[in-house]
Structure 1
């Protein structure tokens, strides 16, 4: 059954940015509605140990997101399990269509739909996600102190991941399908000069090798693109670094994007080119992509939305005094 809901602040997305925006929006008495999307909690729900969230020496990703959701609810935000399939930002109030049949209208919108790491699509890759296969060296590199790891990719992300991992790993092997990298020259120079890094050219990942009890990676099987031959390399971790895809499909034709689809915001702000529309977290952050920075942007977005709505209220013409008009 179709229905309609209106809110002063609509938050689309339920990762650290979305839930933090909901907390601050509720505290500002905006009575926000947050639409969780198809993956409530975002990327952290498929992460195991998180050791870089301030205040927690170690916390499970899914547990952290459940706590954030509970916090948002406790402050008064309404959390709805729905998925926004269409969003019209051409006029206010903004209109969002949910898969549930509900139409949401809002005076301000926070986009917090995040981004997803690109994967190779191998069954073995999927099997060991969170158990030796990762797409974030900053998140998981610490677990591989003194061990050997493999990085797949050839762009800036791959080279940066490989260089970062040398802070922990005994050896880093970078695997690339061509014989030259796409990364910036200064990054390539650092990579080639690092004694901990070995580069394997003209190869792709054919299979992640590992055990089931306990689950964990023991190596990789690589395929040589020149002759199809296979070779195995022992390792404890595999980092797939072939880029990220921001979930900006809803606004790709309405807001300016860059760096492959990340929403552009004003300097030192979450405000987009459309007044009343704000973007926070991985949908706009192509640099850091961390839970803590996403949460910070969620805070910024809610505060900026509050100020925007307050300014709109102050500029609105005062309602006529019905009693005074009748007396005249």
Structure 2
């Protein structure tokens, strides 16, 4: 029987682990893949206090090094289910081994949302991508489309503009949701062209992406442009299928201000929970609060 199990190795999970160990809890952090979360794929992070500019992977390596330096146990293990049983929480793992804990923090993050259009799945990895940091080098002197108008979309359009011949910024509205700093940078790049009030209808190709079908929302007219790559940034979907607690219509876990879910002893932190802001700084804050409240819960139960 462990005191606390943390599921997820992103900013929320690592922050929770650091606080939990400092509280003296018997803690384990489980991560199916690699430590870091979504932010690890960001080329540049400029809004985390203490770092005017830092690579996302580099930032998360500092998180990991801190956690390891104070003895946070991190295991490469996937969790497939979480269920309450009597006065404990039972976790099912992908090794068909159950783990028991007095409390659990869900910090499983989120994944890029898909458009659900023809060709998106067909050409994934063959011209369709959700990560410019990962794939931008493959598009040197080529033409690409970036779909979306938020910070991630504009940040990755800027990354692509450093290598691509042309970047078409496709946005369904007539103004961006991204910060003014990023918008001004994008507007200053000669090879970024904004296609306002436009949606991507279909990705076409043979073995790889060759063209994109676009629809003008004002005229409803369709147009097809030759393209080599499509990068999609239209939001995130939470990784919350493993747990049955109260969620919103999009699957984000609903918590109170103490990160408590609808099930006693289960907490949620970071991008997997319903929040007005999904950022590294808020995820770390969530993790710290969740660990503190889990400690109080475990202590009060004796």
TM-score of the aligned structures, taking structure 1 as reference length: 0.69
Answer yes or no: is the 8 Å Cα contact 1:117–1:135 preserved in 2: no
Alignment match, 1:34: 29
Aligned counterpart in structure 1 of residue 201 of structure 2, from 181, 192, 204: 204
Aligned counterpart in structure 2 of residue 150 of structure 1, from 169, 178, 185: 169
Distance in 1 (alpha carbons) for counterparts of 2:148 and 2:276: 14
Unmatched segments (≥5 aa) in structure 1: 1-5, 175-197, 209-219, 314-328
Aligned counterpart in structure 1 of residue 261 of structure 2, from 254, 262, 272: 272
Q: Decide whether aligned partners of structure 1 residues 278 and 115 sit closer, same or farther in structure 2, where only a CA change above 3 A counts.
A: same
* Aligned-pair CA distance for 1:138: 2.6
Alignment match, 1:256: 246
Q: Are positions 1:169 and 2:186 aligned together?
A: yes
Answer yes or no: is the 8 Å Cα contact 2:148–2:170 preserved in 1: no
Alignment match, 1:48: 43
Q: Decide whether aligned partners of structure 1 residues 11 and 134 sit closer, same or farther in structure 2, where only a CA change above 3 A counts.
A: farther
Deviations 1:102-145 (A, max 9, x none): 32110011000011112444422328622386878335746868
Aligned counterpart in structure 2 of residue 78 of structure 1, from 59, 73, 77: 73
Aligned counterpart in structure 2 of residue 111 of structure 1, from 94, 106, 109: 106
How much is the aligned-residue C-alpha RMSD, in angstroms?
3.4
- SS of the equivalent of 1:68 reads helix
Distance in 1 (alpha carbons) for counterparts of 2:47 and 2:154: 11
Q: Decide whether aligned partners of structure 1 residues 33 and 108 sit closer, same or farther in structure 2, where only a CA change above 3 A counts.
A: same
Answer yes or no: is the 8 Å Cα contact 1:221–1:232 preserved in 2: yes
* Aligned-pair CA distance for 1:273: 1.4
Alignment match, 2:63: 68
Aligned counterpart in structure 1 of residue 225 of structure 2, from 225, 231, 239: 231
- SS of the equivalent of 1:108 reads strand
Answer yes or no: is the 8 Å Cα contact 2:151–2:179 preserved in 1: no
Aligned counterpart in structure 1 of residue 94 of structure 2, from 76, 95, 99: 99
Alignment match, 1:25: 20
Answer yes or no: is the 8 Å Cα contact 2:202–2:214 preserved in 1: no
Answer yes or no: is the 8 Å Cα contact 2:130–2:231 preserved in 1: no
Alignment match, 1:326: none
Q: Decide whether aligned partners of structure 1 residues 292 and 140 sit closer, same or farther in structure 2, where only a CA change above 3 A counts.
A: farther
Alignment match, 1:299: 288
Q: Decide whether aligned partners of structure 1 residues 255 and 127 sit closer, same or farther in structure 2, where only a CA change above 3 A counts.
A: closer
Q: Decide whether aligned partners of structure 1 residues 72 and 238 sit closer, same or farther in structure 2, where only a CA change above 3 A counts.
A: same
Task: Summarize the alignment of residues 308-327 of structure 1 with structure 2, pairs less than 5 Å apart.
Answer: 308-313=297-302
Distance in 2 (alpha carbons) for counterparts of 1:13 and 1:298: 11
Unmatched segments (≥5 aa) in structure 2: 115-119, 137-143, 162-166
* Rg comparison, structure with higher value: 1
Q: Aligned residue pairs: how many?
A: 264
